[in-house]
Structure 1
Amino acid sequence: MTNRIKAIAFALLNCYFIINVSAQDSEIKINYTINTNKNVDFNYEKNDLGSYTINLKFTNLINSSNAIEQHFTVKSYSGHFLTLSPQNKDQGVGFAYQYSYIRGKLNPKYNAGFVYLLPCKKHKKVMVADVAFVGARFLGKTTPEDWKVYFFYTPNEDTVTAVRKGLVVEVKDLYETEASADLAYKSNVNEIIVEHEDGTLATYRGFKKGSVVVKLGQTVLPGTTLGLNSKFSINYSFGITLLVTYLKSIDIESSRDTQNSKSLYGFVDPHFCTAENANTTLTAQQEYTEADTPEIVGKELTKKELKQLINKDGSGL
């Protein structure tokens, strides 16, 4: 069972990364304004939530000392990110440019030892499986050195919760999840992406259609219900795939090489707080219990958020 789970999960992940890198349709648009002092202001409009990195490359640049290629992290829906100033103030700046963009902040400073919750309700138990890189198994590609993806599964349909506080930046609740056939993998799954304060991204994949209860732009707290897990095949358990990543490269062209593509995202091997161990990395084919740990839950929360959780739970977190 475990090997088949491994094959399934990354068939979907590989699709996720490539689509987000290559689909340059309308998430971000760049425009510029030439001012009376001959400075050129570059601005952006962004239709998507969360952080994006813009890679701007000038194919022609005259009368300016700016670097030919630069990258910028943008979070708001619109704003200014670059000004070109002429070296010779009597002449304008000549330029031509191209740009690309990708979700995430490039090489964010994150705490590799940060402790996460399990993606289940308090005192619930989940089994854990490692998820393998399907590109290595079927396509002869090399597994990323830092590869780490987990599959959390339960004997029956169960609740999936947030492992950490963050902003919901993507919700996909489109695909039917009736397990009516013995599938080796399924390319279309429902997912939620949550961006954390330190720039890491938690991607939860495999929700039952119609069960997602969070919305785009919502701040979820640790333990917040996200939806229900699902089973895509009659021969598999109910489960959810979880990966925590960060943007480590903006070499988008290399990612389009179908034979030798490299992941633009690095993978975090999360530490988890469980009833068995307050700070541990997980071992495949082991069962873990979600702990009642207010000190873990509250460490990133504001006083208002702490009060909200206390009121929700009654006597405490």
Structure 2
Amino acid sequence: MRYLLGFIFMLSSISSFAQIEIETERDKDGNVIISAFNSSSVPYTLQFDFSRLQNLSAAGGGNPMGISNPGTSRVLTLKRVNSSQGTDFSYSYRYIKGNIYSKSKIDPLYLIPVKEGVAVRGVSMTHIENRLQPKEQNDMFVGVAFYLPEEVTIVAPRKGYISDMKMDYTAGKNDLDFARSENYIEIYHADGTLTQIKVLKAGSELVKIGQQVFPGDPLATSAGENYQNGRHVRVIPLRVSKDEEGKIHSEIYPIKFVLDGGYETIEKPVESTVIHPEEIITLEMTKKELKNRAKK
């Protein structure tokens, strides 16, 4: 049996229609202070493209970046070069959810996002272009799907905060190969990356935006019974990266899962019984969080 799952990448869905508002002001020395208001609950990476920069300089060259944290934050300063001359500037900007500068002190490991004890089959998903243009193979990594024997509880694969969700989609067709819309819950992690958990039962969410979750915490109920290959859950890890031209974009990248036989990225189909080792659950906990867990 071939496991083919379509993937459609839309920046608007990953950005979740965030409202990033930019404001500029000049200080007493004629420098330009650029601030951003972020109405979401997680950071965004901004990148500026200056078409005109007269008597001003920006750290980072022609396409400087900044981080817009929730609320209002300063993201960039344009320094006045010559105090005796006037200044002028014109720019455009783009923004991607996540923090390109944040790093992890450890090599993160991810639970299979399914309740413990369930036997699953993990497969690397296939890009939708391979269905629409079969003569041109697209090998870009687009995430992992875990096939399920029955309706089960879906759990958090890693510590983080709930950053977004869409849980009101009800499938109207059966025998689907792919769908343009799916219910999902998104988690933001301390290293600036995100994980989207997709194909969830409408209205089954057990968390809310802004809530902290730890590996193994229940998120929602699985779905996918209307697909050709049956019930499954998809895991899509996202991070902010730069392309060959230095422009920021949202990249889907491989991650290591905890299997019953060790840790590995899933490139070929693999069968595993879901396990939730204590050392993985506590891997990213602070001393305070570890102390609180020990009291339970």
Relative to the length of structure 2, the TM-score reads 0.86
Could you tell me which of 138, 142, 147 is aligned with 1:143? 138
Residues matched between the structures, number: 293
Please state whether the residue corresponding to 1:273 is helix, strand or coil: strand
Counterpart in the other structure of 1:294 = 278
Are 2:257 and 1:272 equivalent residues in the alignment? Answer: yes
Could you tell me which of 294, 299, 303 is aligned with 2:287? 303
Query: What CA distance in whole angstroms lies between the structure 2 residues aligned with 1:144 and 1:106?
Result: 24
Counterpart in the other structure of 1:242 = 235
> More deviation in 211-220 or 65-74?
65-74
1:214-253 equivalences under 5 Å are: 214-231=207-224, 233=226, 235-249=228-242
Query: What CA distance in whole angstroms lies between the structure 1 residues aligned with 2:245 and 2:182?
Result: 24
Counterpart in the other structure of 2:43 = 51
Runs of 4+ more than 6 Å apart: 250-254
Q: What amino acid does structure 2 have at the position aligned with 1:7?
A: L
Which structure carries more strand by proportion? 2
Counterpart in the other structure of 2:147 = 153
Are 2:82 and 1:88 equivalent residues in the alignment? Answer: yes
Please state whether the residue corresponding to 1:264 is helix, strand or coil: strand
Q: Which runs of 5+ in 1 are unaligned?
A: 255-262, 313-317
CA drift of 1:107 comes to 6.8
Q: What amino acid does structure 2 have at the position aligned with 1:219?
A: Q
The 3 A distance-change label for structure 1 pair 307 and 126 is: farther
Q: In the alignment, is the contact (CA less than 8 A) between 1:153 and 1:237 conserved in 2?
A: yes
> More deviation in 197-206 or 222-231?
197-206
The 3 A distance-change label for structure 1 pair 75 and 101 is: same
Relative to the length of structure 1, the TM-score reads 0.81
> More deviation in 228-237 or 188-197?
228-237
Q: In the alignment, is the contact (CA less than 8 A) between 1:60 and 1:97 conserved in 2?
A: yes
Deviations 1:138-159 (A, max 9, x none): 23665355x1521112121101
Query: What CA distance in whole angstroms lies between the structure 2 residues aligned with 1:252 and 1:241?
Result: 30
Are 2:85 and 1:101 equivalent residues in the alignment? Answer: no
Query: What CA distance in whole angstroms lies between the structure 1 residues aligned with 2:223 and 2:280?
Result: 27
1:180-259 equivalences under 5 Å are: 180-231=173-224, 233=226, 235-249=228-242
Q: What amino acid does structure 2 have at the position aligned with 1:81?
A: V
The 3 A distance-change label for structure 1 pair 246 and 280 is: same
Q: In the alignment, is the contact (CA less than 8 A) between 2:46 and 2:95 conserved in 1?
A: yes
CA drift of 1:129 comes to 2.2
Q: Which runs of 5+ in 2 are unaligned?
A: none
Counterpart in the other structure of 1:38 = 30
Aligned-pair RMSD on alpha carbons?
2.9
Counterpart in the other structure of 2:169 = 175
Query: What CA distance in whole angstroms lies between the structure 2 residues aligned with 1:230 and 1:190?
Result: 9
